[in-house]
Amino acid sequence: MWVEISKEMEVIIEKKALLFKRTKEEVVKTALEEYLKKEIPIYISAPINALVEGLYEEDTLISDIKKRGDFGIGTFNNLDGEMVMLGGEVFQLLANGKVKIADDSMQTPFSCVTFFKADAGEEVRGEYDYQQFNELLDKCIPSKNMLYSIRIVGLFKYVRTRSVPKQDNYRPLVEVAKEQPEFVYKDIRGTMVGFYNPSFISSVNVPGYHFHFLSEDFQRGGHLLECHMSEGEIGVQHHSHMDLGLPVTFDYMTADLTRDTEKDLEKAER
């Protein structure tokens, strides 16, 4: 396989070959092997079961999570809207349907981010209802025992989302979800930002597919509840490592997180 490279890169390769007394082919091979071995982990700022139990105030800054990724989802302190990180920018999707750029000084009780670089993809043509959409995603991931970040850019015939209203600390998430405002968008272009998580890590992150939607004009979006897709591209990145943050706050350190919250999480997220 032959790949064209720039004149500047040729000069760099020649210098490395002379320095290490190796052929140019050996330098390129070593560089490729080192690059491909680099693992990009998923970073989770706090376990999801803390959020389910009503711990909505933590000390992780938006500026902190930007150091751990350029792509992801989450929420803000006091559940003040849904979060989308796309291209390194963090958007706050408010309960009134508006979207604004989040300030670096804002804090998050839960976020899941990574540096996104798709290593597999699928082009979509033809309408897919929500069941078919999920079946298509299943075909894009080789194993349900691994972690994946997923970006879907395209045209959607129908999108139903929600965003949670700002809450007081300690109110269980399953109660908050009963009052969530929902939004329906039709024939809209945008990006689905999300992850797939194996069922066995349900105390750490939402099991299965978890997406937030942001429109192409950055004006609409929310936590995905349902969609019908017409066309677009699915990009998938697999991860074999995850970094988990444990907040150093009084609430977190004294909380009882032994309860099985999977059923509550299912109700709140779906």
151-163: average pLDDT: 97
Structure tokens at 105: 């000084």
Query: How many angstroms separate the first and last alpha carbons of the chain?
Result: 46
Q: Tell me the H-state helices in 22-93.
A: 24-37, 48-52, 62-66
Q: Are 200 and 144 in contact (CB under 8 A)?
A: no
Q: Which burial class, exposed, middle or buried, applies to 181 when counting CB atoms under 10 A from its CB (0-12, 13-18, 19+)? A: middle
| Boundaries of every domain in the chain | 7-37, 42-269
Please give the CATH number for the structural domain made up of 42-269: 3.30.1330.80
Q: What is the pLDDT of residue 228?
A: 97
* Apex 46 CA angle, 44 and 48, nearest 5: 95
Considering only CA atoms, which of 267, 130, 127, 147 is closest in space to residue 204? Answer: 147
Yes or no: say if 87 and 79 are a contact pair by the CB < 8 Å rule: no
Q: Which 3 state secondary structure label does DSSP give 163?
A: coil
pLDDT-derived band of residue 215, with 50, 70 and 90 as boundaries? very high
Tell me the three state secondary structure of residue 143: coil
What is residue 39's predicted lDDT score, i.e. its pLDDT? 77
Q: What is the pLDDT of residues 50-68, one digit of tens each?
A: 999 999 999 999 999 999 9
Least confident range from 31-40, 95-104, 113-122, 173-182: namely: 31-40
Confidence tier at 38 by pLDDT (50, 70, 90): low
Predicted confidence (pLDDT) at residue 205 exceeds the cutoff of 60: yes
- Is residue 10 within 8 Å of residue 36, measured between CB atoms? no
pLDDT reading at 34 higher than 70:
no
Predicted local confidence at residue 217, as pLDDT: 96
pLDDT at 154: 96
- Give the distance, in angstroms, between the CA of residue 35 and the centroid of all CA atoms in the same chain: 23
Does the pLDDT of residue 3 top 70, yes or no? Answer: no
Q: What is the pTM of this model?
A: 0.84
Q: How far apart are CA 230 and CA 225, in angstroms?
A: 17
> Phi and psi for 65 in degrees, rounded to 5?
-70, -25
Lowest mean pLDDT among 14-28, 91-105, 148-162: 14-28
Query: What does each C-alpha distance from 153 to 66, 69, 134, 139, 164 come to in angstroms?
Result: 22, 19, 15, 17, 24
Banded pLDDT at 107 (limits 50, 70, 90): very high
* Average pLDDT score over the chain: 91
Type of residue at 167: Q
Percent of the chain with pLDDT over 70: 96
Residue linked to tokens 């395209």: 154
Q: How confident is the model at residue 32 (pLDDT cuts 50, 70, 90)?
A: low
184 bridge partner residues: 160
- What average pLDDT score do residues 74-98 get? 96
